[in-house]
Amino acid sequence: MDDLLRVDDTLGAEQRLIRDTVREFVADRILPRVGDWFEEAVFPARELAPALGSLGVLGMHLEGYGCAGLDAVSYGVACRELEAGDSGLRSFVSVQGSLAMFPIWKYGSAEQKEEWLPRMAAGEAIGCFGLTEPDQGSDPSGMRTHAKQDPSGDWILNGSKMWITNGSVADVAVVWAQTEDGVRGFVVPADTPGFSAPEIHRKMSLRASVTSSLYFDDVRLPASAVLPEVRGLKGPLSCLSEARFGIVWGVVGAARACLESAVDYSASRVQFGRPIGGFQLTQEKLAWMYVGVGQSQLTALHLGRLKDAGTLTPRQVSFGKLANVRAALDIARQARSILGGNGITLEYPVIRHMNNLESVLTYEGTEEIHTLVLGEALTGIPAYR
C-alpha cells in the first residue's frame, strides 16, 4: 500500500533495514500460522524466542550484554512490524525487553545483569513482569504482594499477580512487592519453591499469547534477589513507560494490516456489478482509516525522535498510547464492516487484530487512566480519586 505521507522515507538506512528484516520474518514465520495459534489459543514461545533473539529484537534498545543498543525509532519500527503480525507477538517482545530486561539492566546488580541479560537477549531465557494484581490494576500503590526480610537476610515473598504475559513460560519474573522500605523489585527464578504460574484460559483476545497468574507462597529469596538501584513506584512505572512506547508504534502495524486487508477486499468483492471499493461510502471509510494510520504513524515517529533526544516525558507517552490505540481500534472496526461477514473469520486478519486491540486498550494503563493523565496536564488538577 502506498505511503502517501512518505513517512518511512524519513527513516535512516539502518532503520529501513530493520523494517524490512522484521517484516520478512513476520511474513515467513508468523502470518502463515498465527490464525491457527489464535484459534487454538497457543503461542509457541519456546520455538519463537531463539528466533527472535537471532533477529536481534529482544532488548534491542538496551546496550551491552548481547543487546543491540539501537535507537528508539529503530525499536519502534520493529514493534510496528511485529504487531502487523499479531499483538501477541509484539507483546512477547515488549515484555521481554521493556518489562523484564529493562529493570534488570537499569536497576539490577552486576551479578543480576550478567546472569540474565545475555540469555534473555538470545531468547534462551524468557522473562515476565509482575505488577498487576487481582484487586489492584490502575492503582499499583495498593498492591498486597509483600516481602519481608528474616534474620538470615533472606526475603520471604507472599502474594499474587494477574494478567501476566509470558508468566507460564517464563524462566524469571521481575516482581514488585511492598516492603518496610516501600515498593521493591525482586528477580525471582521460576523454579524457586513456592512460586507458581498457572495459565489463564478462555480468553477472547490475545489468544496467541501466554497470559498467567503468579502466586508466591513463602517464596524464599536471597538478599541478592532485590533490585538494588530503585525504591518506590518509580521502578515499575518507568518500566511501563518503556513498554507503552512500544505500544504507540506497535498498534500502527495492527491498524495498517487491517487497512491493507480492507483495501484488498474492497477491490475484489463485487456487488451490484462492481467492486465495493467503487462505492462512495466504502471510499469514505477507507479514506478516514488511511488518515488514522498516517496520523498515528506521525505521532509515533515524533515521540520516537523525542525519546532519542532524551526529552520524552511519560505524559507524552500517555498521549501516544491514548491516541494511537483508539485510532487502531476504530480502524479495525471499520475494516471489519467493509469485509462484512467475512470480517469475522480468521481467513482474514481483521477480527484477530480487532479482538487483540481490545486488550491493548486496557493493558499498560487503561484508556481512562491516560485520559486523566492528559487532563491533569491541561488543568493541573489530578482527578484519579
What's the CA gap between 162 and 260, in Å, rounded? 35
Which H or E run includes 183?
A: strand 182-189
CA 127 to mean position of chain CA atoms: 13
Residues belonging to the active site: 364
The residue with cell 541478592 is 224
CA proximity to 185, closest of 90, 283, 107: 107
Cα first-last separation, the chain: 45
Q: Identify the three-state secondary structure at position 152.
A: coil
CA proximity to 55, closest of 20, 83, 86, 31: 20
Residue 222: partners with Cβ closer than 8 Å, 6 or more residues away: 153, 154, 155
Q: Identify the three-state secondary structure at position 188.
A: strand
CA proximity to 304, closest of 95, 19, 105, 25: 19
Query: In the structure grid, which three cell numbers stand for residue 160, read together?
Result: 499474587
